[in-house]
Amino acid sequence: MILPEPLILFIVLAPGLVAAIAGCFQRFIGDKVAMIITTATVGTAGVLSLFQLFGYAFGGHHGDGHHHFQHVIHLARWIDVGQFQANWAIRVDAMSIVMMAVITSVSGLVHLYSWGYMSDDPHRARFFAYLSLFTFAMLMLVTGDNLIQIFFGWEGVGLASYLLIGFWFHKDSANSASIKAFVTNRVGDFGLALGIMAVFFVFGTVELEPMLEAIKENTFEHVAPIMAFAEGVGPREAAIEFLGMRLYALEVIGFLLFIGAMGKSAQFFLHVWLPDAMEGPTPVSALIHAATMVTAGVYLVCLLSPVYEFAPVASGFIAFIGAITALYAATVGMAQNDIKRVIAYSTCSQLGYMFFAAGIGAYQAAMFHLFTHAFFKALLFLGAGSVIHGMHHEQDMRKMGGVAPYMKITYAAMLIGTIAIIGLGVPHTQFGFAGFFSKDAIIETAFAAGIKGVSFAQMAFWFGIIAALLTSFYSWRLIYMTFHGPMAEADHHDDHHEEDEHAGHAADGHHDHGGKPHESPIVMLVPLIVLSIGAVFAGFFFYDSFVGHHQADFWSGAIYAASDNTVLADKYDHHHGGINPGWVFYAPLVVTIIGFLIATFTYLFNRGLGARIAAKGGPLHSMFANKWYFDELYQATFVNGTKKLGDFFWKVGDKKIIDGLGPDGLSGLARWGAARLSAMHTGYLYHYAFVILGAAAVFGAVILINVTGAN
């Protein structure tokens, strides 16, 4: 069912080890060795993790179905102060098995892909070291058995993301983007850190098992003497004092931790860093900013399902933010022309789906979409990278077009990715691409939860439906603009903006700049093919395990549903024990086809119509194209506000008030002293100081002798 301990240790720790070797000793081992050891290690870990996932899902029952099935490997002591215990550990349960498979398999493929994509970059060893470092941090995140190790991984992936977004450090835009990503994530971490503190305050521990058990068993009044609540009251009613208010403890914790999740998973308000993160090399976008890191927030919420099951307000907030993000990002995605930014907003939107699923209590569906999304979104990004590579680092879709004949495999892979993300499939059957199974599961659960009256579930359903239409539209728009129609003007390299250049390009001056688009090398195509298989079959294979009839056995207590949460069973129609009306199952398909038709009409049959609509503009288009002006708003408020406040504290607070009234206010004295000192600073100062010391000592001694004599 699960792998033997040494293999699990290998999966989690070996990427960290090779990252350290490739990073610290790159000068001695050279690029090739660094690339070989990192790729081989992570690739092996990927194979092992996938093997484990299949073995776990199809290898029989786990535990008794009531207790959380998990295996914890203790590695070492970490923080051990009183009750505050956080040790290095690897937790293997359904949640981490799924995540390990996603992380290492996508990461292994991205490592391989980077052999081609980064082939002319002078800093390849550093790049591969960062990739492996990321993989290690992400694995530590998903296998932690306490919130502090999760925080370690959380910030570790943030570091790797920062380093990789800013990988081409000579680019100003890349530097800005990397700082923006790190700082925005830190805003989220502010909430996460406070949430962890609140957890310790309430539960007296930061370890997951005792904390979550206390909620499930409703025993946490024993560990939290600070709140005496009446007997027979559930965990929902436990209250704490927070910022002067008396609030429900689990709501506070749930809300604070979700702020962390919002930052990492680029949810509305804290999403601004993700599109800019596309400054990083494309393999990075595929691994970190699509398949794995940005899903950490979803993972966290699902991992802490017991908290959210008893925090209806916080859950409602999650559903609300998730639904808004799903729709918001889709609207912006329609109006972008940079191929990577379209996919970035698409990621943002899909993460919104995952969150509203978690917010309405369908954690399994959220995890399922996380799982399938990883494959098809990594596929789309790597496909886009293949196009960018083939087009000599052109990213503007307006300058592409008609490349399908030159890049047949890439084109096929992108088509598969697109069909997977729009979720094409036949309702009530097992025929469909990965997205069909997971996205429709989310939409169906949302409707069922809406019937049951779960907060924001109805809104989530409708937003999800509209976003599905937009998803279909912008995904096909991407395909048509990139692969179909006539080639754009041949001189597209001459006027491409500076930010499209990168180090490898600059270093490799004799690279064939002109010429036609070319298909990418085999090392880049193999990952596309493997991910295509995932994008087609991941949903079909795992539907029953994740959200279908075997879900209780599959999750084995790793995800908790309160007794009144039956949303997974409700999502079926009346014939299958659910409560959904029949049309709900066809709604996603219908809107997907509508989106497809509109895109086909505007971007394939009437090529240029889309561009004309964009040129005409109108307020709605400008709003979408300018991402609803979030960057401008944040620049005007937070960024400038921080600068002004900093200047004020410095120039008024420190200089005028504190120094003005303090030391400089005694300027007469100071000047007198300074004059003395400068007169003496030829070396006599030294003696002078000893005179002071001597005098002080004598003086002190006299006083003390008198004092003690008096006694």
Partner 1 sequence: MGEFALLSIIIFFPALGALLLLALRKFVVSDAEGVESEARIAFMTGLFVSAATFFLSLIALAYFQPAQEGFQLVEDFAWFGGQADDAGNIVGGIRYKLGLDGMSLLLVLLTTFLTPLCFLASWGSIKHRVTEYVAAFLFLETLMLGVFCALDMMLFYVFFEAGLIPMFIIIGIWGGAERVYASFKFFLYTLLGSLFMLLAVIAMYLQAGTSDIVELQTVIPQIFAVEDGKFGVQHLLWLAFFASFAVKLPMWPVHTWLPDAHVQAPTAGSVILAGVLLKMGGYGFLRFSLPMFPEASLYFQPMVFAMSVIAIVYASLVAFRQTDMKKLIAYSSVAHMGFVTLGIFSFTETGIQGAIFQMLSHGVISGALFLVVGVIYDRMHTREIAFYGGLVTKMPVYAAVFMLFTMANVGLPGTSGFIGEILTMVGSFQASSWAAAGAALGVIFSAVYMLTLYRRTVFGVMTNEKLDGIKDLTRTEAIVFAPLIIATIVLGVFPALIFDITETSVAPILAAFSGLIG
Q: How many CB atoms lie within 10 A of CB 160?
A: 25
DSSP letter at 585 equals G
Which member of 196, 254, 275, 625 binds partner 1 (CB under 8 A)? Answer: 196
Cβ proximity to partner 1: between 426 and 645 the closer is: 645
Angle between helices 296-303 and 363-390 (to 10 degrees): 170
Cα–Cα distance between 97 and 528 in angstroms, integer?
Answer: 23
Cα–Cα distance between 248 and 255 in angstroms, integer?
Answer: 11
Cα–Cα distance between 481 and 391 in angstroms, integer?
Answer: 14
Rule CB under 8 A: is residue 159 a binding residue for partner 1? yes
Residue type, 183: V
Which member of 31, 93, 145, 155 binds partner 1 (CB under 8 A)? Answer: 155
Minimum distance, C-beta of residue 106 to partner 1, in the bound complex (Å): 23
Cβ proximity to partner 1: between 51 and 690 the closer is: 690
Which secondary structure element, helix H or strand E, spans residue 433, and what is its range? none
* Window contacting partner 1 (CB under 8 A); options: 53-61, 161-169, 336-344, 419-427: 161-169
Residues 648-707 that bind partner 1 (CB under 8 A): 649-650, 653-654, 658-659, 662-663, 666, 669-670, 673-674, 677-678, 681, 683, 685-686, 689-690, 692-693, 696-697, 700-701, 703-705, 707
Which member of 115, 117, 134, 151 binds partner 1 (CB under 8 A)? Answer: 151
* Window contacting partner 1 (CB under 8 A); options: 46-54, 279-287, 361-369, 638-646: 638-646
Distances (CA, A) of 700 to 32, 414, 709: 71, 84, 14
How long is the chain?
A: 711
Residues 162-181 that bind partner 1 (CB under 8 A): 162, 166, 169-170, 172, 175, 178-179
Which member of 9, 58, 186, 631 binds partner 1 (CB under 8 A)? Answer: 186
Cα–Cα distance between 41 and 50 in angstroms, integer?
Answer: 14
With CA atoms as reference, report the closest residue to 129 among 7, 237, 284, 245. Answer: 284
Contact 557, 416 (CB under 8 A): no
222 burial (CB, 10 Å; 0-12 / 13-18 / 19+) is exposed
Cβ proximity to partner 1: between 389 and 502 the closer is: 502
* Window contacting partner 1 (CB under 8 A); options: 1-9, 402-410, 517-525, 645-653: 645-653
Residues 6 or more apart in contact with residue 99 via CB below 8 angstroms = 138, 142, 299
Rule CB under 8 A: is residue 506 a binding residue for partner 1? no
Cβ proximity to partner 1: between 74 and 170 the closer is: 170
Residue labelled with tokens 């991992």: 303
Minimum distance, C-beta of residue 709 to partner 1, in the bound complex (Å): 8
Cβ proximity to partner 1: between 149 and 592 the closer is: 149
* Window contacting partner 1 (CB under 8 A); options: 95-103, 190-198, 277-285, 524-532: 190-198
Residues 214-243 that bind partner 1 (CB under 8 A): 241-243
Contact 469, 594 (CB under 8 A): yes
Cα–Cα distance between 516 and 509 in angstroms, integer?
Answer: 18
Cβ proximity to partner 1: between 204 and 417 the closer is: 204
Minimum distance, C-beta of residue 268 to partner 1, in the bound complex (Å): 19
Rule CB under 8 A: is residue 190 a binding residue for partner 1? yes
Residues 6 or more apart in contact with residue 380 via CB below 8 angstroms = 290, 343, 346, 414, 417, 418, 421
Rule CB under 8 A: is residue 269 a binding residue for partner 1? no
Which member of 12, 193, 253, 422 binds partner 1 (CB under 8 A)? Answer: 193
Cβ proximity to partner 1: between 166 and 359 the closer is: 166
Cβ proximity to partner 1: between 429 and 706 the closer is: 706
Residues 327-356 that bind partner 1 (CB under 8 A): none
Backbone angles phi, psi at 84, to 5 degrees: -80, 95
Minimum distance, C-beta of residue 263 to partner 1, in the bound complex (Å): 10
Residues 198-217 that bind partner 1 (CB under 8 A): 198, 200-201
Minimum distance, C-beta of residue 38 to partner 1, in the bound complex (Å): 18
* 239-242/245-248 β-pairing: antiparallel
Which member of 13, 183, 223, 604 binds partner 1 (CB under 8 A)? Answer: 183
* Window contacting partner 1 (CB under 8 A); options: 189-197, 316-324, 482-490, 548-556: 189-197
Cβ proximity to partner 1: between 352 and 504 the closer is: 504
Q: How many CB atoms lie within 10 A of CB 344?
A: 28
* Site size toward partner 1, by CB under 8 A: 80
Cβ proximity to partner 1: between 162 and 456 the closer is: 162
Mask of contacts with partner 1, 18-57, x by CB under 8 A? ----------------------------------------
Which secondary structure element, helix H or strand E, spans residue 246, and what is its range? strand 245-248
Minimum distance, C-beta of residue 667 to partner 1, in the bound complex (Å): 11
Cβ proximity to partner 1: between 47 and 666 the closer is: 666
Cα–Cα distance between 558 and 145 in angstroms, integer?
Answer: 12
Cβ proximity to partner 1: between 597 and 705 the closer is: 705
Task: Tell me how far apart the 2 most distant CA atoms of the chain are, in Å.
Answer: 107
Minimum distance, C-beta of residue 25 to partner 1, in the bound complex (Å): 12
Structure tokens that stand for 475 in this block: 């995904």
Cβ proximity to partner 1: between 188 and 464 the closer is: 188
Buried b (16+ CB within 10 A) or exposed e, 27-59: eebebeebbbbbbebbbbbbebbbebbeebbee
Beta bridge partners of 41: none
With CA atoms as reference, report the closest residue to 298 among 278, 318, 326, 320. Answer: 318
Cβ proximity to partner 1: between 6 and 683 the closer is: 683
With CA atoms as reference, report the closest residue to 89 among 141, 130, 28, 27. Answer: 141
Minimum distance, C-beta of residue 132 to partner 1, in the bound complex (Å): 15
Cβ proximity to partner 1: between 204 and 610 the closer is: 204
* Window contacting partner 1 (CB under 8 A); options: 113-121, 144-152, 355-363, 624-632: 144-152
Rule CB under 8 A: is residue 499 a binding residue for partner 1? no
* Window contacting partner 1 (CB under 8 A); options: 70-78, 105-113, 208-216, 338-346: 70-78
Residues 6 or more apart in contact with residue 60 via CB below 8 angstroms = 1
Q: Give the 3-state secondary structure of 35-100.
A: HHHHHHHHHHHHHHHHHHHHHHHHCCCCCCCCCCCEEEEEEEEEEEECCEEEEEEEEEEHHHHHHH
Residues 73-112 that bind partner 1 (CB under 8 A): 76-84
Cα–Cα distance between 535 and 549 in angstroms, integer?
Answer: 22
Cβ proximity to partner 1: between 590 and 669 the closer is: 669
Residues 285-304 that bind partner 1 (CB under 8 A): none
Cβ proximity to partner 1: between 108 and 158 the closer is: 158
Contact 276, 171 (CB under 8 A): no
Which member of 646, 665, 695, 698 binds partner 1 (CB under 8 A)? Answer: 646
Contact 86, 75 (CB under 8 A): no
DSSP-based three-state secondary structure for 338: strand
| Dihedral class, residue 400 (left if φ above 0, else alpha if ψ from -120 to 50, else beta) | beta
Which member of 3, 142, 160, 194 binds partner 1 (CB under 8 A)? Answer: 194
